[in-house]
Each structure stands twice: as C-alpha cells, then as structure tokens.
Amino acid sequence: MSAQPQPLPPCQADPALPAYGQQPRRSTRQVRIGGVAVGGDAPVVVQSMTNTDTTDVAGTAKQIADLWRAGSEMVRITVNTHEAAAAVPHIVERLAMQGIEVPIIGDFHYNGHQLLEREPACAQALAKYRINPGNVGFGKKRDTQFAQLIEFAIRHDKPVRIGANWGSLDQALAAQLMDENARRAESWDAGRVLREALIRSALDSAERAVELGLARERIVLSAKVSGVQELVAVYRDLARRSDFALHLGLTEAGIGSKGIVASSAALGVLLQEGIGDTIRISLTPEPGASRTQEVVVAQELLQTMGLRAFTPMVTACPGCGRTTSEFFQELAQVVQEHVRAKMPEWKVTRPGAENMTLAVMGCVVNGPGESRHANIGISLPGTGEAPSAPVFIDGQKAVTLRGDRIAHEFVALVDDYVDRTWGPRADA
C-alpha cells in the first residue's frame, strides 16, 4: 500500500521582510551628482545615454532635452575626441538656457586624461565622469592614466562612476586570476574566474581612487555583462563586498522586446533584493524609434515594482473573444498617451498625480471589478453587451458614457479628477 501524501505545512511569512517578500534597500554611501542624490536613502534614479555625435551641439542638446522631458534624471554623453570635449560646455549652456539642469555625465575611454587636461571647461561642465578601468590604458600607462583621471575629478570636485564591462575586461587582471585559479586545490570554472575579474576590476579601482584622495561618497560602481544570470551573480557579489552606490544595467541588452525582457528580468531580480541605486535600460533603438523608449521602460519597471511613481499607470485587459472590437485597446492607448503628455505639467502644478491609477476594461466579466479598484476606471461593452460604459471613481459608479465621444469624455473626467484631487485648494 503506497504511503499517503503528507499535507504541506502552512506558509509562514518572514516578519523581517516587507510585504510581498521585497527586501530592504541595501545600505550604501550617498553620492551627489549635480542636484541628484544616488544611494543612501534616495530613490532609485533613472538615467540614459545619447546616441548623437557629441560635436553636434544642437542635436545632442535636443536629445538630452527629450530624454529629460521623458523622465531621465541623468544623461550620459560620449566624450571621445577633443572636438567632443570642447562641445560639452556649449551643450550644457544651451540646456541651461531652456531651464534644463539635468546632470551630464562624460563617458571616457582610452584618452580621457588627455581630453580633461586640454579642455578644462569640459571637466568643469560635466556633473560626473564615467571611467572604464579596462580602457584607461594598457601596461604601465594604465595606473598613471587612471590616476590622472581621478586627480581631475578631485580638482573639479566631481563624482566618478567606475564602470567595468565584460566586453573590455582588464586582461592583465584576468590572466593573474587565471594563474591563481590554476594553483587552487579545487579550481573554479572559467566563468566564475571571469566574473571575479570583473568584480575585482571595479573594487580594486575604487580602492585605488580612494588611496589617491577621492572620497568614497564620490564613487559609484558598475560591472556590466550582457547575460541575465551573470549580471545577477555579479551584482549580488559586488553588493556583498562593498558599500558603494551601484549603477545597474544589462549591457548590449538588444532591440525591441528582447532588450526590454532581458533588462527587466535581470534588474527586477536585483531590485527586488534591494540591490541598485541607479539604473539604465540599454536598448538598441528600432529604426526611427525615439531614444526615450529606454527611459519609459526604466520608469515602468520601477513603478510596476512599487519602488517609485512617475506617471499614472493604466490597467487594461488583454482582450478575448468577448472583445472583438478594438475600441477598448484604442481608448487605453489614448488614455496612456494623454497622461504621459500631461505629466510634465502635472509634475509642477499637480504633484501627486503620478500616483493615480486608471483602468480601461473591455467587457462585463472583470471590467466593473477592476474599474472599482482604480481611482478612475471604465468598463466598456463587450461583444453583444448593451452599448453603455459605466465609469467608476474611487470605487463608486459615477456616470455612464454612451455614444461616439466616450474617449473624449473619459479623458475629461480624468483631468477633472486630477484637478479636484491634486489641484490648489481654495483654502491654501
């Protein structure tokens, strides 16, 4: 007679963890980058990078402005030639004339020490320097040129991101660790050795910067790879071995849905574990697509995880055989685009509106219930249902919309709700 299966023990919530298992944010040193705080008790910061030729002052300034309006709180630019370095102060000046004071980060490889020496106005205009320890020089020059970059940061009182990268790993360090591994009684596999080389490149460079006089509160670390599991393993180890603020990003994530899914999978795990102080979603833009997509994805990742609120999010059903009309899809898109377009204004005049929840549902099955859970929700008629759309506000049915102006009337209700809830009070 086979043994009877034993009942599973009841689930026990860990009282040390917040609701839903999300772990507390890792404690880090806080770094000031222009007017933005990274690490410590600051919220996770969204950043992005331009793909313009930096010598094109107007084009680069325009793309930075677009990224900033989309919600990028810091923007990195390539500084690879003397002409690019000379353009940086003019880019910053052009942005300031538009009232845009987003911190600009200079991305240096190979010749950064020369560029900062020759263009002191560039060194001063940038809010932060990004240094890749694998690309500052080779052989005996590496230590000297790294030291020069750190000395410029100290002289101009600038923070530094020491950003190691899988694609430009310090080969001398990798060879050293391979030799050490060969002498181990139980050797590591090659992947673990290379991960250790990446981590050591970042940590050893940070300690060298501190020895040279750069304060620990002026250092952000990153160690980027292009594989999801490798990135999670690297950052878990990096977080365990240091208290520096960490920048997260899956390098060369890819184009379209592949890049979005891969980045979200990797960063979502780390953020859930409390690791990460600033993030970038490194998407390859689709032909003709806006560079701002990577900013929107980063914001939506943080917002769907409950870490920050940037813009009202729209809950919408995926559709099924009950919803053969595309109207609910079109309305969901109209509403999402409307609130995104309004957010720059609401951010100033209606602070708090970013926390609003909206629902656009397509039939009677889940529509009324989901709509009641949102601040404002609409349940559109499905196939064969009565041609009416009840609107629920804060859980209560408020009005029923009919006819061909439902989209216009619902958007107007959203605007009215924002004005009533977050607008200036008469007694203010």
Q: Which residues pair with residue 312 across a beta bridge?
A: none
SS3 annotation, the chain: CCCCCCCCCCCCCCCCCCHHHCCCCCCCCCEEECCEEECCCCCCEEEEECCCCCCCHHHHHHHHHHHHHHCCCEEEEECCCHHHHHHHHHHHHHHHHCCCCCCEEEEECCCHHHHHHHCHHHHHHCCEEEECCCCCCCCHHHHHHHHHHHHHHHHCCCCEEEEEEHHHCCHHHHHHHHHHHHCCCCCCCHHHHHHHHHHHHHHHHHHHHHHCCCCHHHEEEEEECCCHHHHHHHHHHHHHCCCCEEEECCCCCEEHHHHHHHHHHHHHHHHHCCCCCEECCCEECCCCCCCCHHHHHHHHHHHHCCCCCCCCEEEECCCCCCCCCCHHHHHHHHHHHHHHHHHHHHHHHCCCHHHCEEEEECCCCCHHHHHHHCCEEEECCCCCCCCCEEEEECCEEEEEECCCCHHHHHHHHHHHHHHHHHCCCCCC
**Averaged pLDDT, 153-167:** 96
Which of 229, 227, 173 shows the shortest CA–CA distance to 198?
173
Binding-site residues, please?
Answer: 317, 320, 363, 370
pLDDT tens digits for 35-48?
999 999 999 999 99
pLDDT tens digits for 59-101?
999 999 999 999 999 999 999 999 999 999 999 999 999 999 9
In whole angstroms, give the CA distance from residue 93 to residue 89: 6
Contacts 24+ apart (CB under 8 A), 384-390: none
State which amino acid sits at residue 395: G
Which of 172, 171, 73 shows the shortest CA–CA distance to 128?
73
The count of C-alpha atoms lying within 13 angstroms of the C-alpha of 273, restricted to the half-sphere facing its C-beta, is: 16
What band does 138 get if pLDDT is binned at 50, 70 and 90? confident
Sheet holding 357-361, edge to edge: 313-316, 357-361, 376-379, 389-393, 396-401
Q: Which residues pair with residue 38 across a beta bridge?
A: 31
In whole angstroms, give the CA distance from residue 112 to residue 156: 15
Q: What is the pLDDT of residue 258?
A: 94
Classify burial at 76, counting beta carbons within 10 Å of its beta carbon; exposed 0-12, middle 13-18, buried 19 or more: buried
* 299 phi and psi angles, rounded to 5 deg: -65, -45
pLDDT tens digits for 369-408?
999 999 999 999 998 888 899 999 999 999 999 998 999 9
Q: What is the pLDDT of residue 158?
A: 98
What band does 334 get if pLDDT is binned at 50, 70 and 90? very high
pLDDT tens digits for 4-17?
544 444 434 444 44
* Residue bearing the bigger pLDDT, 220 or 191: 220
For the cut 60, the answer to whether the pLDDT of residue 149 exceeds it is yes
For the cut 50, the answer to whether the pLDDT of residue 2 exceeds it is no
In whole angstroms, give the CA distance from residue 136 to residue 142: 6
Question: What are the Cα distances from residue 261, in Å, to 48, 215, 268, 279, 294?
Answer: 17, 36, 10, 15, 12
The angle subtended at Cα 314 by Cα 309 and Cα 316, nearest 5°, is 145
What dihedral do alpha carbons 195, 197, 201, 203 form, nearest 10°?
70
Q: What is the pLDDT of residue 252?
A: 84
Binding-site residues for [4Fe-4S] cluster, please?
Answer: 317, 320, 363, 370
What band does 173 get if pLDDT is binned at 50, 70 and 90? confident
Q: What is the pLDDT of residue 21?
A: 62
The tokens of 324 are what? 């053969």
The tokens of 327 are what? 């109207």
Residues near 160 by beta carbon (within 8 Å), at least 6 away in sequence: 128, 129, 130, 131, 149, 150, 153, 209, 214, 218, 219, 220
